[in-house]
Structure 1
Amino acid sequence: MANIEKLLDLPLEDVIGDRFGIYSKYIIQERALPDVRDGLKPVQRRILYAMAQDGNTQDKPFRKSAKTVGNVIGNYHPHGDSSVYDAMVRMSQDWKVRNVLIEMHGNNGSVDGDPPAAMRYTEARLSAIASELLRDIDKKTVDFIPNFDDSIEEPTVLPSKFPNLIVNGSTGISAGYATDIPPHNLGEVIDATIMAMENPDCKVEDLMTLIKGPDFPTGGILQGVEGLKKAYSTGKGKVVVRGKATIEPLKAGREQITITELPYEVNKANLVKKMEELRLDRKVEGVAEVRDETDRTGTRVVIELKKDGDAEGILNYFYKNTDLQITYNFNMVAIVNKTPKLMGLKPILEAYIAHQKEVITLRSQYELAKAQDRRHIVDGLIHAVSILDEVIETIRASKDKKDAKTNLSNAFGFTEPQAEAIVNLQLYRLTNTDIQTLQKEADELEKTIARLEAILGSEKKLIAVIKKELKDIKDRYADPRRTKIEEKIEEIKIDLEVTVASEDVMVALTKEGYIKRSSLRSYAASNTEDITMKEGDRILWQSGANTTNTLLVFTNKGNYLYIPIHEIPDKRWKEMGQHIAQMVPIDKDETIVDAIAISEFKSPLYLTFTTKLGQIKRTELENYQAQRRSKPLMALKLKKGDELVDVALTDGTANVLIVTNKGYGLWFDESEASIVGQRAAGVKGINLKDDDYVVSSLTFPVGSNPDLLIATQRGAIKKMSIYRELEKSTRARRGLIMLRELKASPHRIVKALLVEDNTNIRLESSKGKIVDLHVNTLRSADRYNNGSYYIDQEEDGALTDAWIPLELNEQAEETE
């Protein structure tokens, strides 16, 4: 008869969806997730059961791992040998499992991530505590199902005499579910299990008085009790785990950091490699060498420091930037009634207790049936011995064993099992002594039956049995806690000195926005006039600074750029440098007003801002310390059409002099402007006339006596004494006129500067004319004088800028 093909016409998505659903169900239930009752995945359960069945237990010699793997594959787990061997090896690794379930001889891997030796080289056997998971499995305590080929049976779960899921933890990824349960201390878990049995209404907080937190096999320090509480309540939570490190003194005032415990599941070799890379890349300063001195006595990683190394700072840096500190995420998912479920601590313990009640009940029923059967036989033997002569006579008169059993039953009322026991009785058992032994056995059986019936009849006695067995496990296998628990997660603060080599450098910023830093050697070897700059550009700000300092750069739009000096490109002094927009993006129409180098943000200093529309704002410097620096930050709030004109670092006592385009000057104390927040707009600094605006805002300390230099668009320059010509006033006034008013082509101030006797000035006109001027050539004038002309407006164009050029003043200093 020909085969008839049956073809189904189905949409591909239905077929794929259906098949993937079947596959997902399989890997959730039968591969990646542990059972809540015994804490084992199917492959682990099969390995332990196969080894127990094979007599590969703790009291017997070790046996080749390959034999066990073959046995597991052949009988229970029809998958690749590597999956079985890998699971077997993991159960033997004392840095991954808190209480190892398999003892292994040979190379079973290492905390450095080395692979284990092949299974043909290693030998294994069950550990003593693993036998506790399997104890009483032969007493019908758990369900058995046929194996993959129906040739033998395998258990669906192990009796599990301790809460293995919590004690050894579990990790796995299936379809749509993952689990991460950390290991815990056996003694603590057993105490908490007993508490949950004695007081079913106990809360997570009560259980946490006994279970302090995870107890990792590698020790370490766990931080974050709040995260623990959440994890134990909901099944999900986050804690921080860090290695245990101590700072030890060495000779000649040096120190070293010694790490003796690592966070759970951190690869030590990769950690040491990462630390060494950070040292070589100069990401961390002060580290001389990183060495792994681990031997058979325990973990030991040594970070040897240089003489000036900051041990606390370096340790914090490694906590933050390597796996010396990790975040552990609880995700306590286990299989409950063939369904994956996210569980807190109490539901896990309750599921285990329910399992134990069932196991002890089934075991008691099994032992009771056995005891009752034996008592029945013993009763028969005692009765037979009491009528021994008649029994012997009956047996001798019988044809065969079967006939003898029938005759005994008919003559004396023995049951079939009793008759079987009598006919099999050996002659020596008929001695006087053995009659006493039978009576003693009968008494013992009565007690056993009474005890087992009491357990089956009373929940209280059932719980007492579970408690007794748990306490016995605790007494034999519990050991002290290894992981230290700390309540708070410590905030890691890293000083800049740890990550940046402290070096004095020279920093320059041009008006067009080109920035660079150079070594003092490069600066000293260069001639100031040789600096490469774009045509029309000039140095706006230049100063010596340290690489641990910060540069605040302010723009006309009221923004500031937060630039750590060590991040400024290191160039030769002669080179142009890099445009600041490559470090922090700024708008094309945004120009730089000024820069200030800051060594420390904690000093009682202020930033005092003045805007084009006459606003003044004073804010404490510490408000400008930024964490984020990838884009411009707001320095002050500006009204529409307003711009930042000047910014100065002041100490709270400085003098402020505001100069306007129409020639007004207002001089008052800095303290007139009250202190406001970083994002505030400030208060009115000067009362402006219509169409007037601020061109310069100058600050000078109390006790100093600089001269004021004014430059007008008509090319006139005038020097005047502030103290003689201007009266000190208060803010928000018009101020005093500082130029003689002319009806025809009046003077308008372009720039105002503070100058000393030996200052050199540079002037620039709209047609590119440059004039250098020494202040000593100028006579002091009064407020009604318009000064002397240095640029011819008709021939050279209007004067557009005046500044104090650094290169001219440096030369003047050297000449003196």
Structure 2
Amino acid sequence: MAERLLEMPLEDVLGDRFGRYSKYIIQDRALPDARDGLKPVQRRILYAMYIDGNTADKPFRKAAKTVGNVIGNFHPHGDSSVYEAMVRMSQEWKLRNVLVEMHGNNGSIDGDPPAAMRYTEARLSAIAAELLRDIDKETVPFVPNFDDTTDEPTVLPAMFPNLLVNGSTGISAGYATDIPPHALGEVIDAVLMRIDRPDCTVDELMTVLPGPDFPTGGIIQGKDGIRKAYETGRGKIIIRAKAAIEQGKGGKKHIVITELPYEVNKANLVKKIDELRLDKKLDGIADVRDETDRNGLSIVIELKKDADAEAILNYLYKNTDLQVPYSFNMVAIHERRPKLMSLPELLDAYIAHRKEVVTNRSHFELKKANERKHIVDGLIRALSILDEVIATIRASSDKRDAKERLMAHYGFTEAQAEAIVTLQLYRLTNTDITALRQEAEELDQAIAELTGILADEKKLLGVIKKELKTMKKQYADERRTVIEEEIEELKVKVEALIPAEDVIVTVTKEGYVKRTSYRSYSASNGQDMGMKETDRLLAQLEMNTTDVLLLFTRRGYYLYCPVHTLPDIRWKEVGQHISHLIPLERDDELVAAVPVSSFNTGEQLVFVTKQGLVKRTELAQYQVQRYTRPLVAVNVKEDDDVIAVYATDGCGHLWLATHDGHALLFAEEEISLVGVRAAGVKGIQLKEGDFVAAACPVRLEEGSSFVVVTQRGAVKKVAMSEFEPSSRAKRGVVIVREVKSNPHRVVGAVFVSSDEEMVGLRTEKGVVETIEAASLRLSDRYSTGSFVVDTDEAGPVVDVWKEPAKLLGKGEEG
């Protein structure tokens, strides 16, 4: 036979195949039916157990037997998918009312896997039998199974609204679902209200069904989220663990957790809390113990003496799974299509299903009752003419002849004749006549009742309501989850949670930061700080772990770094690059570090840019709650850069020096206070091509001076008294003698208030020189100064800084 090849575009083939696959996944795999709340695999497991007689009133059977039956008869997929679905239906921390009872290890809330199916035993729970009740009365449609050897139901009769009671979760192609579990009694009350008042609102339904009820208990916050979910199918709530602060021995307190949010892994939660303790991210926790036993869940967090229990609990709510968000996504299969459904729509779908089930059941029972009534009527008439009937039967040649004679002589139907000829002799008593007449009366009553139900929708709904009330009486229990109106805003007092420790914080020009204990600093005697050869210190600060370090960048951003979040690294080791903590643009770099112990001191920040702009803003405006990315500190133009930032009380002076050799001294008060995103005002008048090379905050003190360095390696010390305070935005005065050939250009300058201070400089070729201020004699503004570097060999000077003073230390312990 010749091969037939079809040429088709790949996108058509893939589109068609994926379309068919996704339709199958959506309809027959991952999403629950809106009527019985079951996915196909769950329905098949329950039905297989039912027809096998594996019910709540019988002994347990091996789970492997059920799994084999399901795979062999209904669900041609892997055994693990069937067993996992079966196990989930038995886990009381997943389902509000379990549908399968299991003996043996069926997993745990710690995420432990269940035992293999050859070791576990299972049977239907009593409430699962209610999902299947009346299935043998032609109540639901059946379809052939995958190999046409038997039939299976497309939906279960579902005596209770299982979708809302047990919830559902699943992901298919293009659709996902997350429906939370609810309390059986409350859901039934909502169905009853919807039956009585089909136009009732969500607010009215919420008077009887206030929200989800998770099997693990906990606390739900946010009624608005529930209301939105019930109205639209989507909404968000917060689920919080149930925790209490208890007084322990010796003034110590304990936090005891007795209920967890839904689907939170207990073992992972305990591990996370313990990691916070070990990593010293949270001070105040002495120990974490899982004391869960057969009496219930219990996680005990033992606190240190004088620890702030409320602050620690709030921190744990914010940073662990003690509090989690839950998003409703109420998607179910409705009329063979996936649909995002509101609460009224889900209730209506269930009510419509029950109406159909009860109608079908009534038709079935009416048919059976009519058939039986027909037989009973025949038997009663036969007993009334018993002698003739016996004579006719005795005169017959066989059973068939007897039946035909009865039908011909007395007008009995074939069904009645069959019942008469198979009648046992002991039933030919007066007692049996009475019993038959009583049965006939009962059948008449049942037929009238069933006919009434089929003729009157009000009676039909009455039956549904009566059955639901019986379900509620038999299976409803107390609500487990508490619902709170508002979502509580968690305010975490960081200072109450962080161990207060004095540390040394270092920041380098190339962006490496670290905090070091005084013990490590003292052991090195403050020498040989770990740093790259090409790098230098930008700041060396004595701080506390409860303080905040603000790092400012060339492009006008700032990084908010609580000291306790900085890496704890030994003095002799290189720090961690700041980009590991907060992402920094590749072309950006650090220019200043400002330590902050409090944002409420009334201090301000002064910014100076290369193009001579200055800005003053209140420090308090730079305090933030979120600090995972660089934040805007000052608005900087494309062709400008920030060159200096410092904190001040606003009562000092600012001295600016330009590259061409001019300097201007003016009071900080001249700079008006502006907001964070403002650009600032002109600080110094610049000629074209000139720019600010140095900015020094100063106090007008006797004996203080400026050390000015030029690119040619000339260094000179100029007394503060050489500069008269002026007003901003002026040209300033000359600080370097003008030379026509190879003129001096200012590279940098520093303010020195004592002779012990040291000035560092680096040349283009990496040569570093350190100069003691005492070694420089005072010069006037017009002199050139002393040459300290041979720039012909080392290259021009490119960087100038003041060496940090050696720290006095706070003792070895720090």
Shorter chain as normaliser: what TM range?
A: 0.7 to 0.9
Q: What is the distance in 1 between the residues matched to 2:202 and 2:503?
A: 58
How far 1:187 moved relative to its partner?
Answer: 1.4
Question: What is the distance in 2 between the residues matched to 1:320 and 1:411?
Answer: 90
In the alignment, does 2:672 pair up with 1:709? no
Shift of 1:583: 6.8
State whether residues 715 and 789 of structure 1, in contact with CA within 8 Å, keep that contact through their aligned partners in structure 2: no
Deviates more, 1:672-681 or 1:464-473: 672-681
Q: How does 1:427-576 map to 2 (within 5 A)?
A: 429=427, 431-492=429-490, 496=494, 501-509=499-507, 516-526=514-524, 540-555=538-553, 557-566=555-564, 568=566, 570=568, 572-573=570-571
1:664 touches 1:734 (CA, 8 Å); kept in 2? no
Amino acid at match of 1:772: E
**Is 1:706–1:755's contact at 8 Å kept on the other side of the alignment?**
no
Whether 1:34 aligns to 2:26 is no
2:115 pairs with one of 92, 114, 117? 117
The CA deviation at 1:132 is: 0.9
- Please tell me whether the aligned partners of residues 551 and 590 of structure 2 are also in contact (alpha carbons under 8 angstroms): yes
Amino acid at match of 1:655: G
User: What displacement does 1:350 show?
Assistant: 2.0
Quote the offset at 1:455 in angstroms.
Answer: 0.8
- 1:363 and 2:361 matched: yes
Residue 680 of structure 1 deviates from its aligned partner by 0.8
3-state SS in 2 of match to 1:194: helix
The answer to whether the 8 A contact 2:615-2:673 is kept is: yes
User: What CA deviation, in whole Å up to 9, does each residue of 1:471-520 have, x standing for no partner?
Assistant: 11111111122223344445555555588653211234466766554322
Classify the secondary structure of the residue corresponding to 1:257. Answer: strand
Question: What does the per-residue CA deviation read over 1:7-30, in whole Å, with 9 as the maximum and x for residues that have no partner?
Answer: 432348577766665555544444
Q: How does 1:538-617 map to 2 (within 5 A)?
A: 540-555=538-553, 557-566=555-564, 568=566, 570=568, 572-573=570-571, 593-611=591-609, 613-617=611-615
Residue 651 of structure 2 corresponds to 654
Amino acid at match of 1:49: Y
Contact 2:515 2:568 in 1 (8 A): yes
Equivalent-residue separation in structure 2 for 1:431 and 1:119 (angstroms): 56
| Correspondence 1:291-310 to 2 at 5 A | 291-307=289-305, 309-310=307-308
- The normalised TM-score by structure 2 is 0.83
CA shift at 1:640, angstroms?
Answer: 6.4
CA distance in 1, matches of 2:24, 2:568: 60
Trace 1:776-815 onto structure 2 (pairs within 5 A).
786=780, 791-792=785-786, 805-807=803-805
CA contact (8 A) 1:531 1:574 kept: yes
Q: Partner of 1:63 in structure 2?
A: 61
Query: Structure 1 442/673 Cα, relative in aligned 2: closer, same or farther at 3 Å?
Result: same
Distance apart, 1:96 and its partner CA: 1.7
In 2, are the aligned partners of 1:37 and 1:352 still within 8 Å (CA)?
yes
| Distance (Å, rounded) in 2 between the aligned partners of 1:295 and 1:808 | 58
Decide whether aligned partners of structure 1 residues 402 and 246 sit closer, same or farther in structure 2, where only a CA change above 3 A counts. same
Instruction: Measure, in 2, the Cα distance between the counterparts of 1:35 and 1:530.
Output: 71
Q: 1:443 to 1:540 in 2, by over 3 A?
A: closer
Q: CA 1:319 to 1:575, structure 2 compared with 1: closer, same or farther past 3 Å?
A: closer
Shift of 1:432: 4.7
Go from structure 1 to structure 2 and tell me whether the alpha carbon gap of 1:777 and 1:66 turns closer, same or farther (over 3 Å shift): closer
SS at match of 1:87: helix
Tell me, in whole angstroms, the C-alpha distance in 1 between the residues paired with 2:464 and 2:127: 17
User: 1: distance between equivalents of 2:116 and 2:577?
Assistant: 59
Distance 1:627 1:391, change over 3 A: same
Once the two structures are overlaid, the 10-residue window that deviates more, 766-775 or 161-170, is 766-775
Matches within 5 A, 1:61-100: 61-100=59-98
Q: Is the 8 A contact 1:224 1:486 kept in 2?
A: yes
Give 1:450 shift: 1.7
Q: Which residue of 2 aligns with 1:218?
A: 216
Alpha-carbon distance in structure 1 between the residues aligned to 2:112 and 2:638? 66
Give the stretch that moved more between structures: 196-205 or 755-764: 755-764
Report the 3-state secondary structure (helix = DSSP H, G, I; strand = E; otherwise coil) of the residue aligned with 1:266: coil
Distance 1:764 1:119, change over 3 A: closer
Find the aligned partners of 1:16 and 1:691 in 2 and give their Cα distance.
Answer: 64
What is the rounded CA distance, in whole Å, between the counterparts of 2:30 and 2:768 in structure 1? 78
Aligned length: 793
Q: Using the TM superposition, give the Cα deviation of residue 232 of structure 1 relative to its aligned residue in structure 2, in angstroms.
A: 3.4
SS in 2 for 1:608: strand
Instruction: Tell me, in whole angstroms, the C-alpha distance in 2 between the residues paired with 1:648 and 1:122.
Output: 70
Letter in 1 for 2:5: D
Secondary structure of the structure 2 residue equivalent to 1:367: helix
Contact 1:658–1:694 (8 Å) recurs in 2: no
Change (3 A) 1:755 1:162: same
- Structure 1 residues 629, 189: CA separation in 2 closer, same or farther (over 3 Å shift)? closer
- 1:772 matched to 2:766? The reply is no
Q: Distance in 2 between matches of 1:512 and 1:15?
A: 56
What is the DSSP-based 3-state SS (H/G/I as helix, E as strand, rest coil) of the residue aligned with 1:679? coil
Native 8 Å contact 1:656 1:700 kept in 2: yes
Distance in 2, matches of 1:269 and 1:486, equals: 27
Change (3 A) 1:804 1:6: closer
Q: In the superposition, relative to structure 1, how do residues 762 and 92 fare at CA in structure 2: closer, same or farther (>3 Å)?
A: closer
**Using the alignment, how far apart are the partners of 2:155 and 2:645 within structure 1?**
75
Counterpart check, 1:101 vs 2:95: no
Report what 2:812 is aligned to: none
Instruction: Spell out the pairing of 1:728-747 with structure 2 (5 A cutoff).
Output: 732=728, 734=730
AA aligned opposite 2:705: L
The 1:293–1:396 alpha-carbon spacing in structure 2 relative to 1, beyond 3 Å, is same
Cα 1:719–1:808 change in 2 (3 A) is farther
Q: Could you tell me whether the CA contact under 8 Å between 1:32 and 1:172 is conserved in 2?
A: yes
Which range moved further: 756-765 or 300-309? 756-765
Aligned mate of 2:288, from 287, 290, 306: 290
Do the aligned partners of 1:712 and 1:747 also contact (CA within 8 Å) in 2? Answer: no
Q: What is the match of residue 9 of structure 1?
A: 5
1:540-585 per-residue CA deviation (whole Å, 9 max, x = no partner) reads 5332112332322335554444444345555554667677678778
Q: Secondary structure at the match of 1:89?
A: helix
Letter aligned with residue 10 of structure 1: L
How far residue 211 of structure 1 moved from its aligned partner, in angstroms, is 2.8
Residue 95 of structure 1 aligns to a residue whose secondary structure is coil
**Aligned-partner SS, 2:189:** helix
**C-alpha distance in structure 2 between counterparts of 1:114 and 1:739, whole Å:** 76
**Counterpart in the other structure of 1:682:** 680
Q: Distance in 1 between matches of 2:24 and 2:689?
A: 81
Cα offset for 1:526? 4.6
Which SS does the other structure have where 2:460 is aligned?
helix
Q: Contact 1:654 / 1:699 at 8 angstroms: preserved in 2?
A: no
CA–CA separation in structure 2 for the residues paired with 1:39 and 1:581: 50
Does the 8 Å CA contact 1:99/1:168 hold for their aligned counterparts? Answer: yes
1:52 paired to 2:50: yes
Contact 1:505 1:546 survives alignment (8 Å): yes
1:635-691 residue CA offsets vs partner (Å, 9 max, x unmatched): 32245665545433234x523344555766554463x54332212112344667888
Range 445-454 or range 22-31, more displaced = 22-31
Displacement of 1:469 after TM fit? 0.7
SS at match of 2:606: strand
1:116 aligned partner, one-letter code: P
Q: 1:575 to 1:431 in 2, by over 3 A?
A: closer
What secondary structure does 1:681 align onto? coil
Normalised by the length of structure 1, the TM-score is 0.82
Relative to structure 2, which stretch is displaced further, 125-134 or 209-218?
Answer: 209-218
| 1:281 CA drift (Å) | 4.2
CA contact (8 A) 1:761 1:775 kept: no
Q: CA deviation at 1:238?
A: 4.1
Equivalence for 1:622: 620
Structure 1 vs Structure 2: percent identity of aligned residues?
59
Q: Report deviation, 1:470.
A: 0.9
> For the Cα contact (< 8 Å) 1:275–1:318, is it kept in 2?
yes
Match of 1:378 among 359, 376, 387: 376
Q: How far apart, in 1, do the equivalents of 2:7 and 2:237 lie?
A: 47
Q: Distance in 2 between matches of 1:674 and 1:124?
A: 79
